[in-house]
């Protein structure tokens, strides 16, 4: 997973759905009913747990948006961390609500976690995972703008995806070739070819030292050379099949 839907509006809709699902789960199914909880208490539990689920997910939506905009990337580790963070703040908030004068619950934190929250967590987790995967599909398709960053803070190049021609290895740097006003130009950035390929998976490797944007492929010059926009590059035997 390399994308994150940062739309607060769409994430709040997910939060509302989570809240509704928790209300149905708690009020209708009553998974931890021991026969002593009356209708009023179940209603307060259901409403409180559902509202807190919405609020906690809203907090997560804001925090993950800030993180994503700061580091300009997302991965499986960050996704798992986000889901764990949601469950953590949700646990703290619902336990505080449970012990408040509104419910005046009698369980200790350990008992509350084992008897109540684990069941809630098992119900919430798959819904959150599926909803967040669906949110990625709602990311609007637009003319991609690439932020290519190196190890130094000043190593930044922002270009349209369609302008990037190829990337070549240059010892401790990579050379980015791109078109600007119809003319091929380049910029050195201190990073590795492997890192570029991980960040921009649409690039195709044709040689251990070269990645190309397939949009700029023109033709084959020979069996081992291709013509791109205003540049020619060698093709290694190991990568020829992939390019074909």
Domains of the chain and CATH, by start: 8-137 (no CATH), 145-243 (2.40.50.1020)
- Please say if the pLDDT value at position 118 is more than 60: yes
* Residue with the two structure tokens 């949110």: 135
Percent of the chain with pLDDT over 90: 62
- 95 to each of 49, 92, 121, 165, how far by Cα in Å? 10, 5, 13, 55
For the segment 1-10, the average pLDDT, to the nearest whole number, is 84
* Confidence label for 120 from pLDDT (cuts 50, 70 and 90): confident
Q: In whole angstroms, what is the distance from residue 25 CA to residue 37 CA? A: 16
pLDDT tens, position by position, 10-56 = 999 999 999 999 998 887 766 665 555 677 878 888 899 999 999 99
Q: Answer whether 199's CB lies under 8 Å from 161's CB.
A: no
Q: Answer whether 103's CB lies under 8 Å from 97's CB.
A: yes
pLDDT of residue 20: 92
Q: In whole angstroms, what is the distance from residue 216 CA to residue 162 CA? A: 8
Widest CA span in the chain: 82
Q: In whole angstroms, what is the distance from residue 238 CA to residue 128 CA? A: 42
pLDDT of residue 31: 61
The dihedral over CA atoms of 67, 69, 75, 81, expressed in degrees to the nearest 10, equals 20
Q: Where are the alpha helices (DSSP H) in the chain?
A: 8-24, 39-71, 76-99, 109-112, 118-137, 193-199, 237-243
pLDDT of residue 241: 87
Which residues lie below 8 Å from residue 123, measured CB to CB, with a gap of 6+? Answer: 21, 22, 25
Give the DSSP letter string of 83-117: HHHHHHHHHHHHHHHHHSTTT-----HHHHIIIII
* Confidence label for 229 from pLDDT (cuts 50, 70 and 90): very high
Average pLDDT, the chain: 89
Q: Minimum mean pLDDT among 21-35, 71-85, 140-154, 155-169: which range?
A: 21-35
For the segment 151-155, the average pLDDT, to the nearest whole number, is 86
pLDDT of residue 33: 58
* Confidence label for 145 from pLDDT (cuts 50, 70 and 90): confident
For the segment 112-117, the average pLDDT, to the nearest whole number, is 89
User: Which of 115, 102, 105 has its CA nearest to residue 40?
Assistant: 102
User: What's the predicted TM-score (pTM) here?
Assistant: 0.60
- Please say if the pLDDT value at position 204 is more than 70: yes
Q: Is the dihedral of CA 217, 218, 221, 227 positive or negative?
A: negative
The dihedral over CA atoms of 11, 15, 18, 24, expressed in degrees to the nearest 10, equals -140
């Amino acid at each position: 997973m390399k994308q994150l839907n940062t739309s607060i509006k769409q994430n709040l809709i997910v939060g509302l759905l989570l809240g509704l699902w928790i209300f149905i789960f708690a009020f209708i199914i009553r998974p931890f009913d021991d026969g002593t909880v009356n209708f009023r208490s179940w209603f307060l539990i259901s409403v409180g747990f559902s509202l807190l689920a919405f609020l906690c997910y809203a907090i997560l939506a804001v925090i993950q948006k800030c993180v994503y905009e700061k580091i300009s990337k997302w991965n499986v580790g960050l996704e798992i961390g986000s889901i764990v963070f949601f469950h953590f703040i949700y646990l703290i908030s619902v336990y505080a609500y449970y012990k408040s004068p509104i419910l005046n619950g009698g369980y200790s934190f350990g008992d509350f976690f084992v008897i109540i929250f684990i069941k809630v967590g098992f119900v919430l987790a798959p819904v959150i995972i599926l909803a967040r995967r669906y949110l990625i599909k709602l990311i609007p398709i637009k003319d991609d703008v690439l932020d290519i960053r190196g190890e130094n803070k000043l190593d930044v190049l922002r270009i349209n995806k369609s302008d990037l021609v190829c990337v070549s290895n240059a010892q401790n740097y990579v050379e980015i070739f791109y078109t600007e006003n119809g003319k091929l130009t380049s910029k050195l950035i201190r990073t590795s070819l492997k890192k570029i390929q991980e960040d921009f998976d649409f690039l195709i490797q044709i040689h251990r030292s070269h990645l190309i944007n397939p949009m700029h492929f023109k033709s084959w010059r020979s069996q081992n050379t291709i013509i791109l926009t205003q540049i020619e590059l060698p093709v290694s035997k190991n990568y020829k099949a992939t390019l074909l």
